[in-house]
Amino acid sequence: MLLTDKQVAIVGGGPGGLTLARLLQLKGVNVKLYERDFNKDARVQGSPLDMHEGSGLAALRKANLLDEFRKNFLPGADKKLIMNEHAEIFFSDHDKPEENFGHEYFRPEIDRGTLRKILLKSLKSGTVVWDSHFISMEKQGEGWLLHFKNGFSAYADIVIAADGANSKIRPYITDIKPFYSGITMLEGNVYNSKKSAPSIDALIKGGKIMAFGNQKNLLMGQKGNGDLGFYASFKAGEEWSATNELNYADKSQILAWFKQEYSEWSTIWYELFKNAGAPFIPRPIYCMPLNQTWTALPNLTMIGDAAHVMPPFAGEGANMAMLDALKLSECLTDGTHQTLQEAIAAYEVEMRKRAAIAAQESLENGEKMHSEHSLAIMLEMFSSH
């Protein structure tokens, strides 16, 4: 096997990096995963993830973790309401079965923290090196010497970047940068929404709401712990988040902004902004060029957002990262390639093509969701599913 007697370093402990570590360990590979979090409990994980049959679930199946996933997913969290700006319901799938594994359009949800625990538990003790914030690396022999913020350094024969959209390893592979999609999202979180936002909580019923109107969106989803994450999504200039003079820690100021910018929207939505925990987080949405390419290296590659950050409007982020992990692990261990460089090249060619298709869909969905006829378009899309 190409990885016999090789030390593999994965930088980044998100779903993609952890899945890759698990898949490689199942093949007997020596793996270390370097994660900047101080420990496994250092950070509250974000909104739930919906897993797709041909990507995230396929990777979990190959990792022998599908049964564990089924024990821990959130039944009903994938159910959605599509509404207009006045909170009138135009579509609901709350009457569909809560469990339909194997169906193309069944996308079971799981809390990010729960998925992380499942993946961490599946790894050998000592695989994850916590408090390892990557700073730089340099070539050493046939591999790389990695340096971390805490002063620690480590050697690896092969390095795999799984360190997200702001990857510090990507520049060692290519200087191609993402472009701004034209859409910005303002993120908020309501803690214990049953008590803090009872009107919205009664509507959402543990699932999701997608509200469309006036070329703007409100997108929200219930978390397993009873909190509610939401996003105001709209078209804006790339510098909007830095130049709008809003104080993101001031809820009254953000509510005033919403009342002005979403002036045609029902007052029911004010409940979200009045009761959210501060600060709000602005998120300009970026995408890698669809035609990106580079020459494969023999000892360095990347997965997930580090390789192909894209808008979230097709729900492909974590799923693509986990599918990257599956495809890369196969290329490195299935014995069909003569050299590591050939294996990495085969993975990267397939990955770029697949990611470009998903990114195109995400960009197109983003345009549809912020168009004049967004509600009608999204109703047609979901009704066909």
List, as residue ranges, the binding site for FAD. 50, 112, 305
Q: Residue 198 corresponds to which tokens in the numbers above?
A: 């009872």
Q: Which residues are annotated as a binding site?
A: 43, 50, 112, 305
The CA radius of gyration of the chain, in Å to the nearest whole number, is 21
Q: Name the nearest CA neighbour of 348 among 160, 207, 211, 185.
A: 160
Decide: 113 and 44 in contact? Cβ < 8 Å.
yes
Work out whether the CA dihedral 133, 166, 24, 341 comes out positive or negative: negative
Identity of the amino acid at 213:
G
Peptide bond just before 178 cis, omega within 30 deg:
no
Instruction: For residues 171 and 41, give the distance between their C-alpha atoms in angstroms, rounded to a whole number.
Output: 30
DSSP lists the bridge partners of residue 109 as 50, 74
Place of tokens 């046939």: 142
Instruction: For residues 130 and 40, give the distance between their C-alpha atoms in angstroms, rounded to a whole number.
Output: 8
Sequence-distant (≥ 6) Cβ neighbours of residue 313 within 8 angstroms: 362, 363, 365, 366, 369
Place of tokens 């096997």: 1
Taking every pair of Cα atoms in the chain, the longest distance, rounded to a whole number of angstroms, is 64
Instruction: For residues 51 and 319, give the distance between their C-alpha atoms in angstroms, rounded to a whole number.
Output: 6
Instruction: For residues 16 and 266, give the distance between their C-alpha atoms in angstroms, rounded to a whole number.
Output: 39
Decide: 372 and 215 in contact? Cβ < 8 Å.
yes
Q: Which residues are annotated as a binding site for NADPH?
A: 43
Instruction: For residues 384 and 2, give the distance between their C-alpha atoms in angstroms, rounded to a whole number.
Output: 45
Other C-beta atoms lying within 10 Å of the C-beta of residue 140: 13
